[in-house]
Structure formats: C-alpha cells, structure tokens
C-alpha cells in the first residue's frame, strides 16, 4: 500500500470509528487480538519475530519517536483497536511493551478525520508532539489534492512518565498553509528549539515546481510566523493527481544536526532521500552538499530521534509488496524497521547501521573463512525459523561473485534473495532484484554485506552506506531452514558469519 492510499484509508477508518463512538472522544484501552487471530498470526512464517509491529492489523508511519525518562518510545499508525497513534516502549531497543493508543481522532474536532504523522516538540517537563490533524471539507478548501481533506498543524502533551495519553490543545496552532501560496500538501511537521525560539517544518511543495519544507517560528508555541522554505526540490515533469510520485511534494521531512553538519530527510517519488549540508542560522536556510537514497526498497516515511547516548536513531515504515487480497487474508500488514544509527563518514556522507543492541539476540553463530574448505562448512550452516543475521565480507575486483539465500522446507527449495557482484563501466555494483546498487570497498578492496532476515523482511546493508529493504513471500507455510549460498571463488570470500536471531516474543506479538 502506498502512502496516498494509506492516508485515505486511515482517514476513512477514523471516520467510521468516530461515527461508532457518537460524539464522545475516542478512548483507547489496552487489548489483545481474539484467540483465533493470535493462533493464526503466531503460525504465519511470513510475520516478523524481532521487528516492532502492532498486535494485529496494519502498521504505517512511525511518529515522534523519543527517548523519555530512560525509555525509548515509538508511536506509529495502526488499525488494531482503532485508528490513531499506536504506542510501544522499550528500555533496550529490542524488547517492546505495547501501551494504549496515545492519540486518536476526536469526533467533531479539528482532527476528526485523522491524526496524521508528527514529531517531537521540545517544551517543558511533559512530552509534547506536533502532528497534522485532518478534517473532511469541500473541494475548495482541501489541502490534499482531489481528496477533500484539509490538514492543520496541532500540538498535544502528556505529563505522565509513560506518555499514555496525549492531551490536545483546544485549537490548531496553524490552521492553513501560508496565505497566497499554492501548495501541494501540508502535513507531517517536525520541530526543534534554539535559545528561546521554536522552529517548525511542514512537508509541502509547489505545483510544477517541486517539494519543499515550509519553515515557521514561534516564541511561545501559540502563534507561529511563516518564514520561507527551509529547503526545496525539483518537479520531475510528470503529472499525477497525487503530487508525491512526481516530486511536487515532500512527505515526512526530518531535519537534525549530526556531527558538524545538518541532515535533511524526506520521502517523495516512492523513495526516501537524505541530504547532508550546512544550516545557515542567519538566513534560516539549509544548503545541501551531499545527497543520496536512504533505502532502495520497501521502506518509507522515516522519523529520527536522539537517545540518551547522543546517537541519532532512525525508524521507518516497512511496507508490503504483495497483493492487497493476500494482506487482508493474513490479518496484518507491514512493520517498523530495525532501529538504524546514523553517522557521518570522513567525506560527509551518511553512514547507516543497525543499533548494536540487536546483537544481543544472536544465537548459534557459525563463521566461515574464505578458502577451499569454506563450502563444506557452509553446507552445514543454516538459519532456523526464518530469523537470522548474515555478515559477509568479500574481495571486490573484476571477478563476479555473489550471495544467495534459499528457503528449504518439506515441499522443496525456494530462492529468497540473490545478491550478485560485478563491475559496470569500471565501477563496482551489486544487483538485488531490479536494483543496481554501488558498493564502497575499503582501502584493501573489501566490501561488506549485512543482512537481517525476519520472516518476509530482509534488510540489507551494503558497506554501511546503502540499504535496501526487500520482502519475500514464499508459498511454503512452514518456517523451514534458510540456506546461505556463496556463488564465486572461495578465495574472494574473506569471512561469512551466520547467526540465528532469537524471537522477542513467543507468539509474534513483539511484547
């Protein structure tokens, strides 16, 4: 499901829920799926076992992740138990406790049709967020093109240690895009504070010009002054009702300092991009210096946070790529990505790796060193229960080689993913599916692949610079064993480590 359809379906779900609850504010309670559904989900080998996902139903964008009073909190859109911001917390980034829905549409209110994505608002002792509220309006007042939906920016605050309920302000803080500007959307705010001034960025764009982040500022978080675009992109020349696929709008922007630079992240044209550069604090504009793609696969709408150790951690929405009929039959859709730690290398480019805390789940590690004897060891090394990690270091050059994962069950063997290395026009690449992705060998000519396998999800990290999230849906409905196959000369293989990953729950509920 792409995000346009996700937003509309979420809004429809919010409306249905509001009608069913008459005019009373929606109050969520902690609950669990029906026993028959739990049994179905726990037997589904495609459902992840160590990624964060809700108890059932679909998952969408992560919202306003934060480290608060010693614990990690991640909010995300979901459908189980009602629409709104679902909520999970963790003390270790690995094991999660599901809490009640923290933010829901209020019937008759300024967000009656949806509580869309938002970010943290740094203010006071409580946990505050900024988010987009949505209502149904006539076409003349819409901000989501051709959907009769209007977006406003809102603030909600929780004063309890668990951030269980976010209390909304009486009215939106920004009730329309800047006067006189024709925009292509108006959602997904983020915020930061410098001195006594708050700044707010909103995802938007301009028709046949390009996506943009609209920048506001405030001294009291009540009255907000529009300044100008913090950054702006370029339209790709195509025309669609939805302005995102043609680059006319940026969704889910995020902006933060990293090292001595600033990083801008946004989602558009069905992908998520990063830019590293400088932030001119006098002109209040971002100047891009380096650019890249954050993830080349089924990954979208990420949000980042700073944790208690000063790390910048990123969470994204891993989407489904199978037919909607299969999703409906499964009873669940999507998950939240593994927490990714962002850093900068010496060249000022973004480096991406999984938080090392996930390493605590490794079990039964087999390490193979290159050479003639490696094939025999590999034949005995398998990943059980479709949950594991593979770390492969190989020599780049003119010779071709590759890695393949195969699922072996009682009904046969199926290929899950193939990674083929070669040189194209003198430059080293790996081919994964229909994507050709550059590798960045070290000074000795070695490159590293790290794959995290979890049910139908595979997150592949290439030299900690390029990432692709793939979905694999083999028809065999049993866990089986995942075989790791090295294709190429054993002398090109420096090392290969294969580990099982321990599930974080006994029933795939991730709690």
What lies within 8 Å, CB to CB, of 3 at 6+ separation is 60, 61, 244, 251, 267, 300, 301
Q: Which domain holds residue 467?
A: 358-501
Co-location of 336 and 410 in the same domain: no
C-alpha closest to that of 186 among 178, 195, 197: 178
pLDDT on residue 478: 86
Confidence of residue 124 (pLDDT cuts 50, 70, 90): confident
Read off the CATH number of the domain in which 160 is found: 2.115.10.20
Co-location of 275 and 414 in the same domain: no
Could you tell me what percent of the chain has a pLDDT over 90?
A: 83
- Which residue spans within 56-180 are E strands per DSSP? 57-68, 71-78, 85-90, 97-103, 114-121, 127-136, 149-158, 167-168
Co-location of 337 and 434 in the same domain: no
| Mean pLDDT taken over the chain | 92
Of the residues 302, 336, 354, the one at which a domain ends: 354
C-alpha closest to that of 291 among 338, 347, 340: 347
Confidence of residue 22 (pLDDT cuts 50, 70, 90): very low
pLDDT digits (tens, 9 = 90+) for 23-52: 333 333 447 788 899 899 999 999 999 999
Tell me what the mean pLDDT of segment 324-346 comes to: 96
pLDDT on residue 3: 73
- Cα 115 from Cα 71, distance rounded (Å): 24
Q: Is the pLDDT of residue 14 over 90?
A: no
The CA–CA distances, whole Å, from 304 to 182, 235, 313, 500 equal: 29, 26, 5, 28
Co-location of 136 and 103 in the same domain: yes
Co-location of 340 and 377 in the same domain: no
Of the residues 354, 373, 400, the one at which a domain ends: 354
Co-location of 333 and 417 in the same domain: no
Using DSSP's 3-state secondary structure scheme, residue 128 falls into: strand
Q: Please tell me the least confidently modeled range out of 116-125, 276-285, 441-450.
A: 116-125
Residue 40 lies in a domain: no
Tell me what the mean pLDDT of segment 63-91 comes to: 95
Residue 508 lies in a domain: no
Read off the CATH number of the domain in which 461 is found: 2.60.120.560
Element (H, E) at 265: strand 261-268
Co-location of 478 and 424 in the same domain: yes
Co-location of 87 and 23 in the same domain: yes
Buried b (16+ CB within 10 A) or exposed e, 103-123: bbbbbebbbbbbbbbbbbbeb
Q: Is the pLDDT of residue 320 over 50?
A: yes
Report the relative pairing of strands 210-218 and 197-206 from DSSP bridges.
antiparallel
Co-location of 192 and 312 in the same domain: yes
Tell me what the mean pLDDT of segment 313-337 comes to: 96
pLDDT on residue 376: 66
Co-location of 286 and 402 in the same domain: no
Co-location of 364 and 343 in the same domain: no
Residue 148 lies in a domain: yes
Q: Is the pLDDT of residue 19 over 60?
A: no
Using DSSP's 3-state secondary structure scheme, residue 290 falls into: strand
Kindly report the number of other CB atoms within 10 A of residue 293's CB atom: 16
Confidence of residue 242 (pLDDT cuts 50, 70, 90): very high
C-alpha closest to that of 131 among 178, 164, 84: 84
Could you tell me what percent of the chain has a pLDDT over 70?
A: 93
Residue 44 lies in a domain: no
- Cα 51 from Cα 231, distance rounded (Å): 33
pLDDT digits (tens, 9 = 90+) for 359-409: 999 999 999 887 656 666 776 789 999 999 999 999 999 999 999 999 999
Co-location of 325 and 200 in the same domain: yes
């Amino acid at each position: 499901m792409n995000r346009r359809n996700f937003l509309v379906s979420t809004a429809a779900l919010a409306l249905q829920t509001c009608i069913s609850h008459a005019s009373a504010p929606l109050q969520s309670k902690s609950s669990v799926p029906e026993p028959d559904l739990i049994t179905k989900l726990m037997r589904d080998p495609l459902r992840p076992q160590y990624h964060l996902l809700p108890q059932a139903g679909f998952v969408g964008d992560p919202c306003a992740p934060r480290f608060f009073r010693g614990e990690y909190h991640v909010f995300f859109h979901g459908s189980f138990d009602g629409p709104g911001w679902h909520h999970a917390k963790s003390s270790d980034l690995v094991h999660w406790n599901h809490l009640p829905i923290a933010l829901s549409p209020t019937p008759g209110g300024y967000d009656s049709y949806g509580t869309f994505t938002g970010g943290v608002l740094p203010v006071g002792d409580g946990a505050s967020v900024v988010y987009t509220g949505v209502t149904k309006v006539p076409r003349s007042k819409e901000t989501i093109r051709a959907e009769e939906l209007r977006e406003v920016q809102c603030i909600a605050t929780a004063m309890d240690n668990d951030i269980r309920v976010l209390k909304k302000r009486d009215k939106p803080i920004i009730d329309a895009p800047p006067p006189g500007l024709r925009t292509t959307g108006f959602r997904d705010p983020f915020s930061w504070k410098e001195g006594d001034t708050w700044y707010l960025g909103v995802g938007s764009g301009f028709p046949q010009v390009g996506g943009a982040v609209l920048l506001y500022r405030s001294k009291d978080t009540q009255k907000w002054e529009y300044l100008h675009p913090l950054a702006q992109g370029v339209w790709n020349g195509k025309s669609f009702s939805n302005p995102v696929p043609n680059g006319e709008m940026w969704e889910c922007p995020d902006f933060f300092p990293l090292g001595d630079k600033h990083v801008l992240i946004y989602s558009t044209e069905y992908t998520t991009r990063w830019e590293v550069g400088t932030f001119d604090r006098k002109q209040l504009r971002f100047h891009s210096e380096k650019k890249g793609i954050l993830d080349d696969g089924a990954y979208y709408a990420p949000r980042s946070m700073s944790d208690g150790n000063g790390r910048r951690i990123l969470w994204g929405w891993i989407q489904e790529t199978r037919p909607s009929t299969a999703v409906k039959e499964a009873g669940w859709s999507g998950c939240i990505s593994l927490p990714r730690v962002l850093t900068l290398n010496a060249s000022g480019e973004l480096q991406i790796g999984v938080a090392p805390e996930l390493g605590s789940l490794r079990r039964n590690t087999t390490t193979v060193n290159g050479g003639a004897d490696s094939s025999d060891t590999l034949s005995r090394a398998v990943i059980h229960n479709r949950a594991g990690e593979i770390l492969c270091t190989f020599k780049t050059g003119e010779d071709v080689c590759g890695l393949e994962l195969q699922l072996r069950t009682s009904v046969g063997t199926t290929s899950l993913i193939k990674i083929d290395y070669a040189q194209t026009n003198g430059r080293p690449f790996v081919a994964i599916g229909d994507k050709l992705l550059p590798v960045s060998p070290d000074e000795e000519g070695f490159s590293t692949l790290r794959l995290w396998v979890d049910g139908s999800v595979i997150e592949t990290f290439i030299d900690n610079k390029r990432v692709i999230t793939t979905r694999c849906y083999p028809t065999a409905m049993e866990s089986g064993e995942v075989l790791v196959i090295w294709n190429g000369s054993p002398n090109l293989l420096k090392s290969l480590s294969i580990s099982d990953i321990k599930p974080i729950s006994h029933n795939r509920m991730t709690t």
